[in-house]
Chain A
């Protein structure tokens, strides 16, 4: 149940079923109030689509035209890919939308940290060209 009430002049949204418990959920709710979009026309989606197309075309042209050294090119297209992932997350996956808590961002963040560690450390360990390779 969402109890909208006033507590010391500030608006509080309780996220527990029985209203504010006094155990911290009010604090969480105050800063992470439910946030949902309601636009009249899907401008955001159109912006996201055009943005992702532009980022893809930029990466493709950069590689086809060989505008930089190999290391520079790889850096640029990886940055473009990360930008496009952020765009998909923010616009299409409604990352900012939540019901009073943002545990999905924490879960996803942990997944990203482990994923980067997995890929990065695998590549790092294989740069030691010892007997096994």
Chain B
């Protein structure tokens, strides 16, 4: 179903997702959601910043625990997926349905690569006995990074449903708005990861 386009809105060369007033408001609403999600991550960052030096009676320090290799691989995968997601929106703006879906599939594959690398990293820590219940630092670490990983996993499921809708309905006012929202969500997660990489991994190696 396509919403009616306001008569004069087409003359201003608005992108499809902004042509309808209500769909534009939904995009504004999604920015509000991102602001609240930012507060969720801010709380977890605050907990991590406070507890990163509190390793209790046992457990490794950040420097002993982290290996930069997996973290760098995860960063490169997520940065590239952010780029391909940007290209998907670029293709969408030019009315290319196939291009949008193709870049979305690349984004999903890179996202799966990210989640897989992160799970392997977690498993390697837990295999050494450094589980989340071992120290305050490990609890804060697994909660912060795990919450981000859960967001990315949800984003992958969202992108899959988006591809089904795009393939079935084409580029309409509604599907482009959903695609635009997904892009906002995905780039937002990339920003959060940049701060995790900086505050958790790089800071642990200083």
Q: A and B from one assembly?
A: yes
Tell me whether B158 is interfacial, beta carbon within 8 Å: no
B166 surroundings in chain A (CB, below 8 A):
none
Say how far A68's CB is from chain B's closest CB, in angstroms.
9
From known contacts A56-B75, A81-B198, A92-B86, infer whether A115 and B39 are also in contact, taking CB-CB under 8 Å: yes
The answer, yes or no, to whether B197 is at the interface (CB within 8 Å) is yes
> B42 is contacted by which of A39, A42, A63, A119 (Cβ under 8 Å)?
A119
Interface size for chain A: under 10, 10 to 19, 20 to 34, or 35 or more residues? 35 or more
| B68 lies within 8 A of chain A by Cβ | yes
With A and B bound together, what is the CA distance between A60 and B18 in angstroms?
39
- A:57-114 near B, CB below 8 Å: 59-60, 63-64, 66, 70, 73-74, 77-78, 80-81, 84-85, 88-89, 91-94, 97, 99, 103-104, 107-108, 110-112, 114
CA A92 – CA B79 in complex, angstroms? 11
Q: Which residues of A contact B203 (CB under 8 A)?
A: 74, 77
- B15-51 interface bits toward A, Cβ cutoff 8 Å, 1 = contact, 0 = none: 1001001001001100110111011011101110110
Q: Tell me if B's interface is mostly helix, strand, loop or mixed.
A: helix
Which one of B6, B27, B35, B90 lies within 8 Å of A45 (CB-CB)?
B90
The answer to whether the Cβ of B82 comes within 8 Å of any Cβ in the partner chain is: yes
Segment among B110-118, B120-128, B181-189 that sits at the interface with chain A: B181-189
The A/B interface has a contact count, at CB < 8 Å, of 153
Q: Decide if A70 touches B6 in the complex (CB within 8 Å).
A: no
Contacts known (A42-B86, A99-B24); A123 close to B206, Cβ less than 8 A:
no
For B18, the chain A residues whose CB sits under 8 A away are: 34, 36, 97, 99
The B-contacting residues of A in range 7-62, CB under 8 angstroms, are 13, 17, 34, 36-39, 42, 45-46, 48-49, 52-53, 56, 59-60
- A74: chain B residues at CB < 8 Å are 203, 206
A101 — nearest CB in chain B belongs to which residue? B28
Nearest to A72 among chain B residues (CB) is B206
State whether B87 touches A42 (Cβ < 8 A): yes
Residues of B within 8 A of A89 (CB): 187, 191
- What is the CA–CA distance of A39 and B87 in the complex, to the nearest angstrom? 12
B50 touches A123 (CB 8 A): yes
**Can you list 6 A-B contacts with CB-CB less than 8 angstroms, sorted by A residue number?**
A36-B15, A53-B79, A56-B194, A85-B191, A89-B187, A115-B39
